[in-house]
Amino acid sequence: MEEKAFFATTVMGLEDVCAGEVQRILGLSERPELGRGRIFFRGPLEAIYELNIRARTLHKLFLLLHRGRFESLRDIYLAARRLDYTDIIRPDQSFAIRAERVGQHDFTSMDVAAQVGQAVIDSYTASRGVRLKVNLDEPDVEIYAFVRDDEFLLGVNTTGPSLHKRGYRVFKHPAALRTSVAAAMLYLAGWDGRGLLLDPMCGGGTIPIEGALMARKVPPGSFRRGEFAFLSLPFADEEEFSRRLEEALRAASKDRFNIIGMDKFRAYLDGATRNARSAGVEDTITFVQGDATRLADYLAEAPTHVVVNPPYGVRFKLRGLMRLYKGFLSSLSNLAPGCRLVLITAAKGTFRRAAEGAGVEVLEERRILHGDMWASIFICRA
């Protein structure tokens, strides 16, 4: 079976987690190559179906058309011009170029988009004698041009909107965690459905919901059945995609798992319950209104895995944040000594001091870019 070249985007700082997931899903013998906010790998064309259906930490999957170095904007045009686009765009379809540029250059991302767009038109005209239509708002095919320093990547978006937009949220928490980050944190915690998973500050319920979907093996792509960009590509096989989606859904279970989402605010818990119901996992998550600094007052059983996205201090004064972190960590270490804790925060200094004061061991810290904010994921032993 012929292999294709791919790259996938993910959260910067979680590339290795995404690479491990892609390797498991596809059964690759080699681990994908890590880049900044993306990974590179080779696999069968069917990887387009499998990853868009099953991947939890991946954002967008691209069929890689070109990867190379350049010195000038003219080099970018020539690299794009040499490619044959007849396999990815039909003559009656429209296309758009989405460009992203990082680094110091004497041109803009708009210049990149214009040059690549012209190269696509020129190549297609030479091959088919047809001038392709450009539609920037609702194109049939999206081609992405990434320029970082002297590297130029060109790829076809097979996903459409990012996979972290699962589609089950009906309630939006003001500080909601990306689902892809929640899934990565659950992987880092070693959550596989065994034991008790606790999110003591669950907000809109993203972590317990993702934990339930993961334990039940519910494919996240099932929430957006017909919204994949690859369905517009000439080589897409809708029957094959439907068969693989149904196969993934059949492998999912309705088993119940021990998952608790706790929050201090009833309005958030009501929203989390609505989200869980929308995701089809309300029956396996227990939502509890309670104070994370007094866990023993609400829990009859010690958790084995704790994954949490607490306040960062954006709307918290530093003294109050330290009190919250230290109170929570002390409560956790008293209730569940030795449990696995994975926590994300932008207030890393405050967290480290609180952890030291509460006797919680920090095993690893990794920096990630969550939205437009740098944050730290801490992996700890309570």
Q: Among candidates 243, 183, 240, which has minimal Cα distance to 24?
A: 183
Q: Summarize pLDDT for 162-189 with one digit per residue, the tens.
A: 999 999 999 999 889 999 999 999 999 9
- Return the number of other C-beta atoms located less than 10 Å from residue 126's C-beta: 10
Whether the pLDDT of residue 344 is over 80: the answer is: yes
Q: Whole-angstrom Cα distance, residue 16 to residue 301?
A: 33
H/E run at residue 43: strand 38-44
Question: Quick one: DSSP state of residue 149?
Answer: T
Q: Summarize pLDDT for 72-98 with one digit per residue, the tens.
A: 999 999 999 999 999 999 999 999 999
Residue type, 41: F
Alpha helices in the chain (DSSP H): 15-26, 47-54, 73-81, 109-128, 179-189, 206-216, 238-251, 266-279, 318-335, 348-358
Q: Whole-angstrom Cα distance, residue 91 to residue 34?
A: 35
**Whose structure tokens read 């919680």?**
360
59 band by pLDDT with thresholds 50, 70 and 90: very high
pLDDT at position 372 is 85
318 band by pLDDT with thresholds 50, 70 and 90: low
Q: Among candidates 324, 320, 316, 314, which has minimal Cα distance to 373?
A: 314
pTM of the predicted protein model = 0.95
Residue 244: left if φ>0, alpha if ψ -120 to 50, beta else—which one?
Answer: alpha
